[in-house]
Structure 1
Amino acid sequence: MVGAGPAGIYAADILDKSDADVSIDLFERMPAPFGLIRYGVAPDHPRIKGIVTALEKVLSKPNIRLLGNIDYGTDIKLDELREFYDAVIFSTGASADRALDIPGIDLDGSYGAADFVSWYDGHPDVPRTWPLTASSVAVLGVGNVALDVARVLAKTADELLATDIPDNVYQGLKASPVTDVHVFGRRGPAQAKFTPLELRELDHSPNVEVIVYPEDIEFDDGSIAALRASKQIDMVVKTLQEWAIREPGTRPRRLHLHFFHSPAEVLGEDGKVTGLRTERTELTGDGNVRGTGEFHDWDVQAVYRAVGYLSSHLPELPFDHVAGVVPNQAGRVLDLDENQLPGVYVTGWIKRGPVGLIGHTKGDAAETIASLLADAPTLAAPKFASPDAILDFLEARGIPFTNWDGWGRLDAHEKALGSAAGRERVKVVEREELTRISRG
């Protein structure tokens, strides 16, 4: 299994619970496991991070082994993996930002949400600083990631100090001069992609006033049908309606939710962001929108695009660059001629694209494992069947890999750092330090 985030761990669990006699190794590029949970979930979401408890139970199973700090394509290749395993499942997720093709998107001060998330989550492979110099910021998109970015930007650093954020993130946010964060959605309230709980959390900060504009509360037949068909959409819309009619408060920072505004251009001067131009849209009857030709310029000094994640091309595997997935049929990887690549499978976002919540990867995993088990009688036996053979290979190559015991050491170390500061945990950031602590 390549990738020890939720998708890979769920797949390992389902395979382990099957009737097959299996041993499973999970290869992870980071020194620590859990992927998206550790490096993609906002630090003020402890309830989501609580999923780690369930994932830890899987990784502690005797037939499942964690091998961390190993970069597929650099430290080990597909042909090499196939010498040690009957089958290889890729569960590498999606960590890049999807592009947004509008003028000015490449100006200094225009950022991808995924890069910002990696910074505030202490990802070891990104810079330790972030240019938080804007007093007014635009966030493009109305999914959960957009709300995470907007909330972290709008909150005070002291509100986040109780979380596991590293000190460099706390210091960066503390120096931020932000007063206003504007979130823009191209369509209306009934088409927003965030969840009700995620939305309501915006209003919990004593320092952030959430503002919704009455003129943005509009519905057509398609919107009404969506409301009737989904309790979740209905809850989101009711919350937005309540906020739109209330009197503005006096909290020092403001988070504005704008609907029916399609980003048209990032405005700039001397190579830097100076504003955002949006086109007002209107509903077409079926829940979609069209442009009205009416444009608005917004005085912002930074723009964050949160329009979706994109998976990266994996060496030695075919890749659909438009959809951002590995071509597959029920998890079986297909080559360029749409023939099955024997013994190679995918699950999670690399299989179906970055949509849905974390729990949705369980369905992906079940389908992929069913395909693998159906193919099992025809799979080629590995050249080296001993469980120790791969360890000998990694050691001979000089790769400082980490393991499950190492996560226990790192986990205890981070909790000890947190205890000393009156917090539950303080996350270690640098890869070398993560590896050193994990390897003891």
Structure 2
Amino acid sequence: MKLTEPMNEIEAFKLADLIAQQYQIFIGSETLPRLLLRNLLVESNRHIYQLPPKFKYTGRIIIGLQHQRICIEVIQQIPNTNHTQLSVIERPLYPNETNVQTLLERLTAYGNSHNVQLLQLIDLNLLASQGAYDERKVYETLKDRYDECVSYTRSMIVYDLDALVGINKSESNSNMGQSVSYSVHNQSIYTYVLARFRDRVMEDIQEKDADNVERWAVAVIREPFLLRQFSDETQFPRTSREQEEIESERRRVEEPVKCVKCKDFYTENENRMGSCTHHDGFVYDNTSTELTIFAPSDVVKILNKIERKAFNDTNQNHEWERQKSKFKWICCDETFTTLHRGGCKRGKHGFSPKDNQPLNGQGINRREQATVEKWEDFCCDNQEYYAKWQSLLNDY
């Protein structure tokens, strides 16, 4: 057939898709031309993917779908030394990159920039197409595909780890609260992928005609638990953001902080329901006709001043005895005392100024924890206790 006009890009993709289907050349459940055509037809999905040439790559890539980030391992020179270290380039994914299929255009572009000759996707579609329903057949399929990649000078193998491995999630309840634990479902496949991911080969022979061997390994992971465990066990370098999160978590767990409610110190890993005993209401003067409302810290100042006068003047002892019992808690009707005796409520330590409510389930960001004054303001604004105080005032 003689063409009178050059074939446009869309027609070329459609023709390539038909040929790929005819010869059963699939990546996952679809052909690469079909995936490229889909992104081409959506204007917002047109992006330019490129691996910066200034870096020396190790060939390992981890993509976290939950956090929408791609981490590429590189070798970098340590400043002012002759030594190198492993580091990570972190890039955000585009909004349309939500699964393995939508990532293939990016990975294909990465491979094309390094003259990759074979891109192999290992997922459930591959196992199903090979009839790999038992462990022996799964291993055979994984080994065959890996051996095929190794036979090429430049190759890229992509593992859909969530689909291949899976995660077990179990919940349990105890007097310490609800806890959730995770574990890898298919440990044998996980171990195999773990070993293959470590087998990176990136030659850097500085000769004109040298064809350097490059074997890229890509792990696509959605489940946060699996992402953390896989990164740790492959000794994948942490990003600066991950290092900050780990340090923040360490401080959150290990460093003691003073609770604004009970004035006691605690660590977050010991913060359980019932560990904090406190009052959650305001204090009022039971002898005043207006039942004057006070914040607890203000009452402490008043009583300390009266007590100091009583120490300096014995004639003031009677006044001290009378004054120290006139303040009451609105929340439980107990007499206020400067001695710490716990409180009428039990809960978790800490108070968040963002939500203006005690934290009963989430951890506390120490930088955002409220001051004692904010906690007392919250207690004074309690509408339930204000209604109770109003009722007492009306009956006075």
TM-score with structure 2 length normalisation?
Answer: 0.21
For normalisation by structure 1, the TM-score amounts to 0.20
Larger radius of gyration: 2
Q: Which has the higher contact order (CA 8 A, sep 6+)?
A: 1
